[in-house]
Structure 1
Amino acid sequence: MIRKSSGSRGFTLVELLVVIAIIGILVGLLLPAVQAAREAARRMSCSNNFKQIGLAAHNYHSAYKQLPMHMGGTRRVPAQASWFSGYGDDCNMMMLSVFVGLTPFFEQQGLWDSISNPNSVDLNNPGTPRTPPWPAMGPTPTEEENDVVIVNTRNNAYPPWMTEIPTLRCPSDPGQGLPAMGRSNYAACLGDALHYTDNGPYWFNLRGWPKIEVHTSSNESVLASCRGTFVPRRSMKFRDILDGLSNTIMMGEIATDLGDRDIRTMPHTFAPGTFSGLRDNPVGCRPDIDPERPRFWDPSLTDIAAGNQGRGFRWASGCQPYTAMNTILPPNSETCMSLGDTTPGVLSASSRHQGGVHVLMADGAVVFLTDSIEAGDPNIGTVATYGTGQRAPGSQSPYGLWGSLGTRANREVITESLNQ
């Protein structure tokens, strides 16, 4: 009698390996599509954040008949200041970004209340009320030491400046936490020039206080060089945008630093020739890029920002590396400062999205512009002072469509569609 096997036949090793290989191939084919879908969702979320910021700016303008001030805030009056008074923590030295005033307009009323009133919370001494309390509108949003030895102000103990605001973050940007003091992926557009874009009509003495310059030449230089939607320490209105709100960039997207010497996010801090050198040659820092890895600075370069001064590292600070951008070099180009984070620099828009950046137009529209946008000749210098420099005040931007979009009242005609 023949006995039949009662057990079921299983897979052979070869069959199992074939199935695993097929599954691996399918996963390999599907993974890029899944990743692309995720990035598309993150990019849409980033665009929505920007739209909320644009709506907040328009609501702010409706309420106050002006845009929020870039580099605004409180300051010492000359009678209260001295040569060695330094940054201090009794005022914010008119160094606040446009986002501070916008907080109640993008659903951060609680944060605004803690900023606009005296605050006794000290992050360095939790549970112990600070005496005296932080002033209304907060201290200087800075963490570095002053160059005066007797002053060593580190205002990372002030809670609002250390707050991470979701509306100001792009989901595609993985940067988080220290050494940043609350990151921002969005920045105010200052135009297509450098001179006076750090201080506007005020002169800032590192050892003293911001004071207004009354001589004619400085005000004329501000008019000649500060050509963007925002002008430091000056109230701006939509009526100032003569080129049309739909033709003028109000803000641009920026990537935050990850500590990897990325040319877009870790600024070069000592341009050849410093102030005049960078104005005359916007690509003056380009020779310091690593030729083998063109997205990074040369490993031997020492003139880069301190670890806590990366791009987008302080949402509350109006200093250029943190919440400002210009339309001199095309998107995702290198960042270069004249001297340090309180000086003017060549700081374009940048992002973690593939191939381009979001920009917020003054009419509230969000547009994605590619890195290949027509940007003219980067070797042409920017306006220096009134009546001097390589191009006259009021002249057409030499930086092509990109530069034209960054200026508010230059009568450039935009003939190309921005919906790329």
Structure 2
Amino acid sequence: MSRKNLDRGFTLVELLVVIAIIGVLVGLLLPAVQSAREAARRMSCSNNFKQLGLAIHNYHSAYGKLPTHAGGTAGEPTYPITAIHWKNSATTKHNNTRLSVLVPLLPFVEQQASWEQISNPRDDNGDGTIDYPPMGPTPDLAAYDPWATEFPTLRCPSDPGEGLPSLGRTNYGACLGDSLWATMLRRTADFNTPEKASEQNRASHRGFFKFGDRDARFRDCLDGLSNTIAMGEFATYLGDADVRTSIANTTTSGGEKWMKAMRDDPKYCQSQGLLDTERPGYWSPTATMYDYSATGKYASASRGFQWADCHTMQSACFTILPPNAELCGHALFKEFSVQATMSSQHAGGCHVLMGDGAVRFVTDSIEAGNTSAGNIYLVNNPGAESPYGLWGALGTTASREVIGSDF
């Protein structure tokens, strides 16, 4: 063999062809790899939800009732009984009964150490005085490290959110049903007496978890545990204008007026033109947004930023608008009733946890009835059929609605 043949290598054209072939193969394989990774993340998210389902059942087995959403401790009342159910001011003396359902579930998801910190008094300075009482301060105080802790069981791997101004994020929260009228208030816009407020609240609180109900049991779920959503998944705020994770300010002033507007028109924010017509998944550039600054001043208006907080934006959801629809709130009343459905970073829908512990994936196209119609008649009719179709029926516990098909 000649020396000339031994020294012959690839020509430039041959090398470019090989590189092009490799590039095409990578381009073909990359979507498959990304799809496989998302499938693994989605499975992990489902497993997290299953753990929460087991925790709820183990809690019920241990205590004979469901864990409380909006539980905890309260100090001496400094406001009339007809005022709001809890105050929003931060305090280290008690938590203003603002703890989410996720707090009492901690020891049932292998977080006993954190539960011990929360359930016992704390003397952080070693001076013999109690800095934090049992069950901790209000859940917006970052200095109390359990509230700033992120638990893997409460996070969806597909959600990339992390860091300040959030404390400990969560992607899972209590399902409060299909009616947000005065969900978090002791009084209501129509009746300011405790008796009338209780009457409206009984009619309005239609979900698996009822705000502040310390005696709810499985037996209260007349529609059947397998037909009722116990908890829902939602995406957390990522610092953009995503309609699923942030709130654009409405033009209606006054908490009572705003709650009535949302009660009568679930698509109130959409009808006000607050959504971007070119990018429907984002708020309009002309909409007034909160100043989501790094100081955390408006962290309470960001979805899923405080796992221990019972505020709707933080750890609750409704079955009114279908999954991945917009949130709708008000600048001054964001901690109260917020039109907050479920959402996720998964394509096409989100996970829900049923009362029997099963985890289902619900698509954005689930039948949701007439979401343009208000639910005003539900105010004084506790057993009324949900106006929001199959989606609304899955959120209620005692309307005796038969789920006749798979979803």
TM-score, length-scaled by structure 2: 0.89
Shift in alpha-carbon separation, 1:237–1:70, aligned structure 2, 3 A: same
Matches within 5 A, 1:280-299: 280-286=264-270, 287-299=273-285
Shift in alpha-carbon separation, 1:109–1:376, aligned structure 2, 3 A: same
Aligned to 1:120: 123
The answer on whether the counterparts of 1:271 and 1:337 sit within 8 Å (CA) in structure 2 is no
Task: Measure the CA separation in 2 of the matches of 1:316 and 1:249.
Answer: 20
Q: Residue type of the partner of 2:23?
A: G
Task: Measure the CA separation in 2 of the matches of 1:71 and 1:131.
Answer: 27
Matches within 5 A, 1:296-307: 296-304=282-290, 306=292, 307=298
Aligned to 1:353: 346
Q: CA RMSD in A?
A: 2.5
Q: Does 1:267 align with 2:247?
A: yes
The answer on whether the counterparts of 1:271 and 1:277 sit within 8 Å (CA) in structure 2 is no
Task: Measure the CA separation in 1 of the matches of 2:305 and 2:21.
Answer: 46
Q: Secondary structure at the match of 2:350?
A: strand
The answer on whether the counterparts of 1:336 and 1:345 sit within 8 Å (CA) in structure 2 is yes
Task: Measure the CA separation in 2 of the matches of 1:310 and 1:384.
Answer: 31
Q: Does 1:238 align with 2:211?
A: no
Aligned to 2:336: 343
Aligned to 1:220: 199
Aligned to 1:366: 359
Task: Measure the CA separation in 1 of the matches of 2:116 and 2:36.
Answer: 39
Task: Measure the CA separation in 2 of the matches of 1:203 and 1:378.
Answer: 26
Task: Measure the CA separation in 1 of the matches of 2:251 and 2:178.
Answer: 18
Q: What per-residue deviation string (whole Å, max 9, x for no partner) do you get for residues 14-67 of structure 1? A: 000000000000000000011000000000000000000000000000001111
Task: Measure the CA separation in 2 of the matches of 1:168 and 1:65.
Answer: 24
Give structure 2 stretches of 5+ with no counterpart.
Answer: 293-297
Matches within 5 A, 1:138-157: 138-142=136-140, 155-157=141-143
Task: Measure the CA separation in 2 of the matches of 1:195 and 1:305.
Answer: 27
Q: Secondary structure at the match of 1:78?
A: coil
The answer on whether the counterparts of 2:187 and 2:193 sit within 8 Å (CA) in structure 1 is no
Shift in alpha-carbon separation, 1:130–1:188, aligned structure 2, 3 A: farther
Choose which of 376, 379, 382 in structure 1 pairs with 2:369: 376
Which stretch has the larger CA shift, 298-307 or 93-102? 298-307
Q: Does 1:249 align with 2:248?
A: no
Aligned to 2:47: 48
Task: Measure the CA separation in 2 of the matches of 1:304 and 1:385.
Answer: 31
Question: Sequence identity of aligned pairs in percent?
Answer: 53
- Corresponding pairs, count: 386
TM-score, length-scaled by structure 1: 0.87
Q: Does 1:39 align with 2:38?
A: yes
Q: What per-residue deviation string (whole Å, max 9, x for no partner) do you get for residues 94-120 of structure 1? A: 000000000000000000000001123
Q: Secondary structure at the match of 1:331?
A: coil
Task: Measure the CA separation in 1 of the matches of 2:110 and 2:31.
Answer: 36
Q: Secondary structure at the match of 2:230?
A: strand
Task: Measure the CA separation in 2 of the matches of 1:238 and 1:382.
Answer: 26
Q: Does 1:175 align with 2:161?
A: yes
Q: Does 1:100 align with 2:103?
A: yes
Shift in alpha-carbon separation, 1:79–1:311, aligned structure 2, 3 A: closer
Aligned to 1:408: 397
The answer on whether the counterparts of 1:248 and 1:361 sit within 8 Å (CA) in structure 2 is yes
Q: Residue type of the partner of 2:156?
A: C
Task: Measure the CA separation in 1 of the matches of 2:154 and 2:230.
Answer: 15
Q: Residue type of the partner of 1:234?
A: D
Q: Does 1:72 align with 2:61?
A: no
Q: Shift of the alpha carbon at 1:268?
A: 3.0
Q: Secondary structure at the match of 1:251?
A: strand
Q: Shift of the alpha carbon at 1:203?
A: 5.3
Q: Secondary structure at the match of 2:142?
A: helix
Shift in alpha-carbon separation, 1:271–1:109, aligned structure 2, 3 A: farther
The answer on whether the counterparts of 1:225 and 1:384 sit within 8 Å (CA) in structure 2 is no
Q: Does 1:22 align with 2:11?
A: no
Q: Does 1:63 align with 2:49?
A: no
The answer on whether the counterparts of 1:313 and 1:322 sit within 8 Å (CA) in structure 2 is yes
Task: Measure the CA separation in 2 of the matches of 1:270 and 1:46.
Answer: 33
Shift in alpha-carbon separation, 1:44–1:85, aligned structure 2, 3 A: closer
